Amino acid sequence: MKIITGLGNPGAEYAKTKHNVGFMFVDALAAKLGVTEWKDKFDAKIGEGRIGTEKVLLVKPQTYMNDSGRAVGPIMNFYKLEPEDLIVAHDDMDIPAGTIRIRKKGSAGGHNGIKSILAHVGDEHFSRVRIGIGRPLPGWTVVNHVLAPFSEEDAPKIVEAINYLIPAVECIVNEDVDMAMNRFNPKKQKKQKKTVQPTEPVKAAEAAAPVVETAGEGTAVYE
């Protein structure tokens, strides 16, 4: 069995905020799996479904973001699951809105919900499905940013990211997180060297002579 947890804050006033993109993901996955019944247990809303032959619990902690582990930890203990059986979907300010990253372990990276789960689970070896929400606008605090809804420009990117991640999470469940990372994480573009074309035909003697290049114009600039 696997636990798929989306992080967010309970209450209608938070439903469409950036901090609730984890809830949005779990709701979309529930719709895909045909999960319509939610039970209130362990300070969370829990739905049961299947991905392939694997039973999954869809979990939305109702403890507020900073205490997410208070719901996740007891669920893990009750079902006697290992950290590797946990998948957590959450927002990430460090990547652009609509960008995704899948990780198999790591620190909290400043995310209080992940920090709480680490404290209650006691192990960093659980999968994270990160959905980018971008950095705050100039003059905005982090709190203002994460508790605001997505802009008209970013909202479609988030929907696209969530739809892209549903098969990624299915891959984690059916195969493993390494396969999902390899298949779904954005690929880094290969750096290409600029080819300098001679402006005049090169004489045979010049072509035979070694060419010494110096740094300066024509040096490749990498992103």
- Catalytic residue list: 19
Six-digit token string for 6: 């989306």
Cβ proximity of 158 and 151 under 8 Å: no
Q: Which of 30, 17, 61, 9 is nearest to 150 (CA)?
A: 17
Q: What is the DSSP secondary-structure string of 103-137?
A: ESS---TT-HHHHHHHHHH--S-SEEEEEE--PPP
| C-alpha closest to that of 57 among 37, 70, 68, 69 | 37
